[in-house]
Amino acid sequence: MNGPGHVGGSRMLLRKLREIMEAGGSAQERLDRLVAMVAATMVADVCSIYLTRGEQHELFATQGLKPEAVHRTRLNTGEGLVGLVAETAQPLNLADAPHHARFSYRPETGEDPYQSFLGVPIVRSERTFGVLVVQNSVQRMYGEDEVEALQTIAMVLAEMVAANAFGDLSGLADVEARPSRPEFMQGKAFSDGVAIGVAVLHEPHAPLGRVIADDPVKEEARLDAALTQVRGVISEMLEGDPGRLSGVSREVLETFLMLANDPSWDAKLRNGVRAGLSADAAVERVRGEHRAKFNATRDPYLRERMHDLEDLDNRLLRALAGVDGAAQQSLPENAILIARELGPAELLDYGGRLAGIALEEGSSAAHAAIVARALGVPMVGSLSGLLSRVEDGDAVVLDGERGEVRLRPEDQVVSTYRQRIELRSARAAEFARDKDEPAITQDGAAVALLLNAGLALDVHHLDDTGAEGIGLFRTEFQFMVSETLPRLESQILLYRDVLDTAGDRAVTFRTLDLGGDKVLPYVKAEREENPALGWRAVRIGLDRPSLLRYQLRALINAAAGRRLRVMFPLVAIVSEFEAARALVDRELEWAARFGRGAPAEIEIGVMVEAPALAWSIAGLKGKADFLSVGTNDLMQYFFAADRGNARVADRYDVLSAPALRFLSSIRQSADEAGLQISICGEAAGRPLEAMAFVALGFRRLSMPASGVGPVRRLIRSMSVEAAAADLAPRLKTQSASLRAELTEFAQSQGFAL
């Protein structure tokens, strides 16, 4: 059946399937006619459909097995050859099925005579909800053409069940081809906020209204045009300005172009169309195969290649739909984006058009999460199995405060969340009313509340929150979302815009914190065994001083006549800071020599993120102007726990006695060296942690915009003397977490947590 014969056979199968759908009758009658048609067309003694009902695979229709076994034979999850196909989501082709280790004999089916077995999964949206099986009495291996034909039927069957093509499926009420029941998913909160909206898939389904094509020649022409478009776009990017792309970016595009011209990919797509599928359905089927392989492999390199292939499938689907990308995609007002993972540039493509974001993977420390917080878009991640449980257009409730997502929620749940949104709005209004109130404790200690920022739009939160300035402006985002090194003028414009928006409020710019998980598309990256401890941040800047000087030149130019605060990340030893500061002096000399403007005042600081520097603060006296404790990285290194690793990131607490003792010693060392010091990180924006930091003597806290209101309210309600007195004896213990004790104390004192 290979070649034209195979194509004709598949097309005939699809035509007959459509005739069955159009002939009417009950759902069971249609299923019965379908298995009879497949058995006859494929010259099989048996054809059976098993559908997943609850935790079992139930025989729903058969031609060849005993009719009385229908709806009586049920296999538990993972049981038998059917369970194996459903479990792996891969075809199973056996010449001697009864002797396979997973064979499960069911006498009521009467399948004793049948030796050969071919089973393919019925899959939609990564959800396997059934298995289509053919069997023969003679021992034989089914050919590739037969496997492909059965897979095509299974795919079309899945789409038709999902689209209610069988009519009234009340008899199949527990079978979920298309998720329809309310579901609750617990993930992790990446960006605060609550949203009620509809699901929009970042990698949407093809518009499969026409699964079966009326005109295969026309469909192949559509496929040709889309392939030409996708290949052309990639080629144009590679053949443009030779200096525009280099390193990883060029390698990725060259790999993409190679994959886009892969004859096997092309052949699979064309075979699907020639077999009678629409071009969209053919791509959807191939994407399903790639996703199944992606989920099955654990090898990082192979997963990366599978991800590249899936990306190509998505590009091709968008080309067929006439959509170029996220920037052109039409979105409903309350769109909640559903994705496996998301990069910062992809998120920025959507701009402010999203109500929320739900990710199957991701990390709260990832840059997409930081961008989401900057945009004020709620985000929940680490939602295992999300893509297989949600469809485009499903109702979604997303809780970025508790890390929860509810799919297709009941009306009462939606009503409850609407009340929560109203309460949050009232609370936000209360914080807005108090934004001009000074953050002074009950016993008169003033605390400076500052913002963490990474985008120019973040700076506008200064007015919204009443923060006193920007304690940390992450400069790397401009570099990460660009395909090329941002030109000097582009950098100057960004930094000048930030300073203009901030006005007389101080802005502290952190120089490029690259490396680790922050890879530039135009800088060749080398694989490191432990990138968090490798070549990153100031280490790159000192080894590649032209890159750091280029940025310092832009900062000095942008701050001409104004105050400039610059700090260097991940300095481990004093000599590294001295070398970095020397580059600032060289750039100031360059500006003076060529008559360029210079800052009216310049302050150079350093982030305390490496424990080694925490014990070297005395050596910075008279050299640095200020310190900023970066709790995110410092605690990562303190506990030897990768903050991006979900297995360990949450098992250690910054409110442990050892961690607080460490922070206290850093603050004391800064005081002795006469250096201004601040706490910078996500923890500073949480009221309980802020209370502890203030009790330790910190008087400058830099945090996400969402934390300023709650922390101001906490500061204005607390007594430093009482908090410090309560905390002091607890610091002498070895407690892994003081969270419960500090919460109880704050509540007993009436502090506003």
pLDDT at residue 364 is higher than 60: yes
Tokens of 351: 């701009």
Rg of the chain over all Cα atoms, to the nearest angstrom = 31
What residue segments make up the domains of the chain, in order of their start? 4-172, 183-202+328-425, 216-321, 434-749
Q: Note the residue count of the chain.
A: 753
Question: What distance in Å separates the CA atoms of residue 386 and residue 388, rounded to the nearest whole number?
Answer: 5
CATH class of 4-172: alpha beta
**492-514, pLDDT tens digit by residue?**
999 999 999 999 999 999 998 87
Average pLDDT, stretch 678-695? 95
**192-217, pLDDT tens digit by residue?**
899 999 999 887 555 545 677 778 88
Superfamily grouping for domain 183-202+328-425? Phosphohistidine domain (3.50.30.10)
State the pLDDT at residue 48. 96
Using a pLDDT cut of 90, give the percent of the chain over it. 48
State the alpha helices, DSSP H only, in 392-537. 411-433, 461-465, 476-480, 488-502
C-beta separation of 644 from 368 below 8 A: no
Please state which of the ranges 354-358, 477-481, 544-548 shows the lowest mean pLDDT: 477-481
**304-344, pLDDT tens digit by residue?**
555 566 667 777 887 887 765 555 567 888 999 998 877 76
State the pLDDT at residue 173. 44
pLDDT at residue 624 is higher than 90: yes
Residue 447 neighbours by CB under 8 Å, 6+ apart: 439, 440, 441, 694, 699, 700, 701, 715
Torsion, Cα of 269, 273, 279, 280 (10° steps): -80
pTM of the model: 0.65
Average pLDDT, the chain: 84
CATH 3.20.20.60 fits 434-749, yes or no: yes
Please state which of the ranges 101-110, 183-192, 273-282, 309-318 shows the lowest mean pLDDT: 309-318
Residues known to be catalytic: 367, 680
Average pLDDT, stretch 422-446? 91
State the pLDDT at residue 412. 87
pLDDT at residue 287 is higher than 70: yes
Q: Closest Cα to residue 408, out of 393, 386, 420, 424?
A: 393
Tokens of 230: 């996708």
**In one letter, which amino acid is 309?**
L
Using a pLDDT cut of 70, give the percent of the chain over it. 83
C-beta separation of 465 from 448 below 8 A: no
What confidence tier does 98 reach under pLDDT thresholds 50, 70, 90? very high
Instruction: Return the CATH architecture of domain 216-321.
Output: Orthogonal Bundle (1.10)
What confidence tier does 723 reach under pLDDT thresholds 50, 70, 90? very high
State the pLDDT at residue 527. 62
Question: What distance in Å separates the CA atoms of residue 61 and residue 33, rounded to the nearest whole number?
Answer: 9
What confidence tier does 292 reach under pLDDT thresholds 50, 70, 90? low
Question: What distance in Å separates the CA atoms of residue 564 and residue 566, rounded to the nearest whole number?
Answer: 6
pLDDT at residue 590 is higher than 90: yes
Question: What distance in Å separates the CA atoms of residue 11 and residue 17, rounded to the nearest whole number?
Answer: 10
**In DSSP terms, which residues pair with 594 in a beta bridge?**
none
State the pLDDT at residue 126. 66
Domains 4-172 and 183-202+328-425 alike in fold: no
Count of CA atoms in the C-beta half-sphere (13 A) of 513: 23
Question: What distance in Å separates the CA atoms of residue 71 and residue 542, rounded to the nearest whole number?
Answer: 71
State the pLDDT at residue 383. 92
**C-alpha angle 377/383/385, rounded to 5°?**
135
Question: What distance in Å separates the CA atoms of residue 269 and residue 316, rounded to the nearest whole number?
Answer: 11
What confidence tier does 727 reach under pLDDT thresholds 50, 70, 90? very high
Average pLDDT, stretch 437-451? 96
Residue 445 neighbours by CB under 8 Å, 6+ apart: 694, 699, 720
State the pLDDT at residue 255. 62
Tokens of 246: 């280099």
**Is the pLDDT higher at 88 or at 140?**
140
C-beta separation of 70 from 51 below 8 A: no
State the pLDDT at residue 657. 97
Burial 132-142 (b: 16+ CB within 10 A, else e): bbbbbeeeeeb
What confidence tier does 460 reach under pLDDT thresholds 50, 70, 90? confident
Q: How far apart are the first and last CA of the chain?
A: 71
**314-325, pLDDT tens digit by residue?**
778 878 877 655
Question: What distance in Å separates the CA atoms of residue 183 and residue 408, rounded to the nearest whole number?
Answer: 7
Each as own residue / partner, the long-range contacts of residues 311-318 (CB below 8 Å, 24 or more positions apart, any chain) are 311/256, 312/230, 312/256, 312/259, 312/260, 312/265, 313/283, 313/286, 313/287, 314/203, 314/287, 315/230, 316/226, 316/227, 316/230, 316/269, 316/283, 317/204, 317/206, 317/280, 317/283, 317/284, 317/287
State the pLDDT at residue 597. 86
C-beta separation of 574 from 612 below 8 A: no
What confidence tier does 576 reach under pLDDT thresholds 50, 70, 90? very high
State the pLDDT at residue 314. 74
Decide: helix, strand or coil at residue 496: helix
pLDDT at residue 524 is higher than 60: no
**213-264, pLDDT tens digit by residue?**
778 888 899 998 988 888 887 777 666 544 433 334 455 556 667 767 777 7
